[in-house]
Amino acid sequence: MKTSVLLTAYLLVTGIALGADLTPGDPSRSPELTDAASGQSTPSIDQSAMPAQSDLSLATDVWPLVGEARLKVLIWEVYDSALFTPSGRWQGAAPYRLSLRYLRDIPAAKLVEETEKAWQEQGRNHPKVNEWLALLGELWPDITEGDNLVFGLNASGDSAFWFNGSPIGSVEDRDFGALFGGIWLDPDTPRPGLRAQLIGPTPELAQNSRP
C-alpha cells in the first residue's frame, strides 16, 4: 500500500493553540473544501512527498534542545513547548523542530481559530491565509491531553507535521512554514515570554556572558 494511502488515516491529527481562548469550539468540518468561484477543489495536503525528504525527518530525539517553556493562561496549563536545532542554538532561522506536548483537551476547530488569531495579531496578510487555515482544518484532529505535535521547517522553506511520532503531512507552500513557525519564534510573537525561553540567549549574548 502506498505511503499516501497509509497516511490518509492520519488526516485528522493535532493542532496548535496559543491558549488565549480555551472555550471548546465545534470540531466538525466539511471533508471537502471547494472554491466557490471556480467550483474546483482546493489544493490537497501532500503527505506522500514529505516523509521521503531526509532533511525533514523527525529529529527531536537527535537534535540538541535549544530551550523549552510551558504555556499557562490564567489557571490553565496548555502545553509544554520545546525547540530543537542541529547546533542546539537558535540562529534566527530554519532548520528547526518545534515540539508541543498538550496538557489539556482542545478541539481541532479551536486550534485553527487560534492560529488565525495569532496571524491577525502579527499582521500577517498573506493572500493564501484562508487556504492554509482550511488545509490545517483537514490535517488536525481534536487534541487529547498528552498528545504531541511537532512542526519542522528546513532551510529550503519546506515544512512538515508529526503527531505522536508519526508523519501526518504538510502544507505544500514554502510561504507557509516561516509564517506558521513565526507564531512562536518571530520577534512579534503574541507570546514574547514563551519565545524568550524557547530560543534562549542569542549567540551574541551567550558569548558576552562567558567568564
User: Tens-of-pLDDT digits for all 211 residues of the chain?
Assistant: 433 333 333 333 333 344 333 333 343 333 333 333 334 433 444 443 333 345 899 999 999 999 999 999 898 999 999 999 999 999 999 999 999 999 999 998 999 999 999 999 999 999 999 999 999 999 988 899 999 999 999 999 999 999 999 998 899 999 999 999 999 999 999 999 999 999 997 654 433 333 3
In the structure grid, which three cell numbers stand for residue 102, read together? 498538550
In the structure grid, which three cell numbers stand for residue 172, read together? 505544500
Using CA atoms, how far apart are residues 176 and 157, in angstroms rounded to an integer?
Answer: 8
Using CA atoms, how far apart are residues 175 and 126, in angstroms rounded to an integer?
Answer: 9
In the structure grid, which three cell numbers stand for residue 134, read together? 482550511
* Domains along the sequence of the chain with CATH: 3-7+42-208 (3.50.70.10)
Do 14 and 179 contact (CB within 8 A), yes or no? no
Using CA atoms, how far apart are residues 88 and 59, in angstroms rounded to an integer?
Answer: 12
- DSSP character for 44? P
User: Which amino acid is residue 45, in one-letter code?
Assistant: I
Helix or strand run (H / E) with residue 6: helix 3-7
Grid cell 537558535 is found at 90
Through-space distance between the first and last CA atoms of the chain, rounded to whole angstroms: 58
- DSSP character for 34? B
Give the other-Cβ count within 10 Å of 192's Cβ: 9
In the structure grid, which three cell numbers stand for residue 108, read together? 481541532
**Helices 108-122 and 174-185 sit at what angle, rounded to 10 degrees?**
80
